[in-house]
Amino acid sequence: MVRYLALRVAQALWVLWAAFTVSFVVLYLLPADPVSIAAGGAETGSPTDPAAIAELQARYGLDQPLWQQYWTALGHAVRGDLGHSISTGQPVTTAIGEALPSTLGLAALTLLFALLGGVGLAFAAAGTRRSWLRNGLAALPSIGVAVPTFFTGLVLLQLFSFQWRLAPAFGGQGFGGTVLPALTLGLPIGAVIAQVLTSGLESTWRQPFVDVALAKGGSRWWVRRKHVLRPASVPTFTIAGVLVGNILAGAVVVESVFARPGVGRLTQTAVLAQDIPVVQGIVLLSALVFVTVNLVVDLIYPLLDPRIAGHRRTSPTEISATEEVAARV
């Protein structure tokens, strides 16, 4: 286990380094000049004082060769110093720290809505015996994935804010101001969960240990909840990293539509201003969240299906059907 954790941590560090390097190269190859934007010359179209430009470039180290800028920025990042915003002069870690709590609250409520809706729809689709109803419920997630996030947000704004006045339209804080953004962001996430979990429930239901559990007198609902849900949820946990990435990417759109402060709005502002240190800090934050979630998922796998923990010790051909049924029931 220690060797496995060490390998996973090394992979996580490699991913963080790759994210930093790629973002650094891409951002610094952009034709726009962040210093000119910060000085106001790019916005007004008027010439900017060359001395002011040179002073800003020296302050942020942009007058150095590219390779020297890279090693300096990498050394600072290893120590937890992501530099200062070119637009505001604020430390990047402070800017992200101020925006992060709002986005974390949005992400937590989004995951709650997505899990409740996705798991509920998957159980309803896999549990019904009427084929027409099962096919209809199974088709709903495809609609949820296909509808654009911004369109969902605008529809919810029109209905719940402007027409029924049940929730604030823009800039709302607290639970009441987070419900509509969370629903907007949670709809496609829940649809993906429902798609994957429905498939897992249906395939696991056809396994021999289910017949044994039913033969022992267990109800369909009890067997599905007690014996089928855990192994069927393994594919859903596999895409947890993708779902977290969708939340981070969707936060940019949702926080813009609902005018909410957060990492999404900070990302939009930094990209428009070509604020390289802030954009790079957000990229590193996203990569850190991604590798952390995937590491946690890898550690949860054996709890969901004990056979995963022992797959290195015992090959699948050595596990008889009797042993599998005994382990399940």
The pTM of this model reads 0.79
- Are 117 and 183 in contact by the 8 Å Cβ rule? The answer is no
- Please name the helix (run of DSSP H) or strand (run of DSSP E) that holds residue 39, with its range, or none: helix 34-39
Strand partners, 91: 84
Q: How many CB atoms sit inside 10 A of residue 319's CB? A: 14
- For residue 117, give Cα distances in angstroms to 114, 124, 181, 186, 197: 5, 10, 15, 9, 12
Per-residue pLDDT of the chain (329 residues; tens, 9 = 90+): 678 778 888 888 899 999 999 988 888 877 766 777 666 655 545 556 677 777 777 877 777 888 888 999 999 999 989 988 888 889 999 999 999 999 999 999 999 999 999 999 998 988 887 888 888 888 888 888 888 888 998 899 889 888 888 888 776 677 888 899 999 999 999 999 999 999 999 899 988 988 888 888 888 888 988 888 888 888 888 887 778 878 888 888 888 888 888 998 899 888 888 888 899 999 999 888 888 888 888 777 777 666 665 554 443 333 333 333 334 33
Please report the pLDDT score of residue 139 as a whole number.
86
- Are 299 and 2 in contact by the 8 Å Cβ rule? The answer is no
- Are 246 and 152 in contact by the 8 Å Cβ rule? The answer is no
* Sign, Cα dihedral of 278, 281, 287, 289: negative
Q: Which two tokens stand for residue 95?
A: 């800017």
- Please name the helix (run of DSSP H) or strand (run of DSSP E) that holds residue 153, with its range, or none: helix 149-156
- For residue 288, give Cα distances in angstroms to 8, 19, 42: 13, 10, 33
Which of 90, 63, 91 lies closest to 79, judged by CA?
Answer: 91
Q: Give the amino acid at 31.
A: P
Q: Which two tokens stand for residue 185?
A: 């962001």
- What are phi and psi for residue 91, nearest 5 degrees? -55, 140
For the chain, list the domains and their CATH numbers: 20-78 (no CATH), 92-328 (1.10.3720.10)
- What are phi and psi for residue 167, nearest 5 degrees? -150, 150
- Are 237 and 300 in contact by the 8 Å Cβ rule? The answer is yes
Q: CB within 8 A of 18, min separation 6: which ones?
A: none
